[in-house]
Amino acid sequence: MAGRSSGAGKSLVRATLAIHQPPVGTSTTPGGLIKTFSFDFNPAELSIGRSAQWKYSAAPVERDGPLPEFLGSEPRRLGLEVFLDSSARPTSTSVLKKVESLLSCCQVTAKSIAAKQPSPPWVVFQWGSFSTARFTAYVSSVDVSYTLFGTSGVPIRATCRLQLNEIPSKTARQNPTSGALTAQRVHRVVAGDSLPSLAWREYGDATAWRAIARANGIDDPGRLRAGTELLLPAPEEVRP
pLDDT over 50 (residue 108): yes
Furthest C-alpha separation in the chain: 81
Of the given ranges (1-15, 21-35, 39-53, 82-96), which has the lowest mean pLDDT?
A: 1-15
> Which of these CATH numbers, 1.10.260.40, 3.10.350.10, 2.40.10.230, 2.60.40.10, describes 183-240?
3.10.350.10
Highest averaged pLDDT of the listed ranges 110-119, 163-172, 213-222: 110-119
Which residue from 5, 196, 25, 34 is spatially nearest to 108, judged by alpha carbons? 34
As beta bridge partners, residue 123 has 19, 137
Give residue 7's pLDDT band: very low, low, confident or very high (50, 70, 90).
Answer: very low
Count of Cβ atoms closer than 10 Å to residue 184 Cβ: 19
More confident residue, 153 or 174: 153
Q: Which helix (H) or strand (E) holds 20?
A: strand 14-20
Q: Give the separation between CA 96 and CA 228, rounded to whole angstroms.
A: 20
Torsion angles phi and psi, residue 98, rounded to 5? -70, -40
Which residue from 173, 171, 191 is spatially nearest to 182, judged by alpha carbons? 173
Residue 104 makes CB contacts below 8 A (sequence gap 6+) with 19, 121
Over residues 38-56, mean pLDDT: 76
What 3-state class would DSSP assign to 103?
helix
Cβ pair 139, 9 in contact under 8 A? no
pLDDT over 90 (residue 106): yes
For the stretch 184-239, pLDDT in tens is 567 788 888 888 888 888 878 888 888 888 777 787 777 788 877 777 777 766 75
> Which of these CATH numbers, 2.40.30, 1.10.150, 2.60.40, 2.60.120, describes 3-50+65-177?
2.40.30
Count of Cβ atoms closer than 10 Å to residue 173 Cβ: 14
pLDDT, position 114: 92
Q: Give the separation between CA 228 and CA 202, rounded to whole angstroms.
A: 17
pLDDT over 70 (residue 141): yes
Highest averaged pLDDT of the listed ranges 24-28, 153-157, 171-175: 153-157
Looking at the chain, the whole-number percentage of residues with pLDDT higher than 90 is: 20
Torsion angles phi and psi, residue 108, rounded to 5? -65, 135
Q: What is the DSSP code (8-state) at residue 118? A: -
Count of Cβ atoms closer than 10 Å to residue 165 Cβ: 16
Domain boundaries along the sequence of the chain: 3-50+65-177, 183-240
Cβ pair 131, 97 in contact under 8 A? no
Measured between alpha carbons, how far is residue 114 from residues 25, 101, 108, 211 in Å? 13, 20, 11, 24
Q: Give the separation between CA 222 and CA 125, rounded to whole angstroms.
A: 29
pTM to 2 decimal places? 0.62
Measured between alpha carbons, how far is residue 23 from residues 20, 30, 90, 109 in Å? 9, 5, 38, 11
For the stretch 74-98, pLDDT in tens is 888 888 888 889 888 888 898 999 8
Over residues 147-173, mean pLDDT: 83
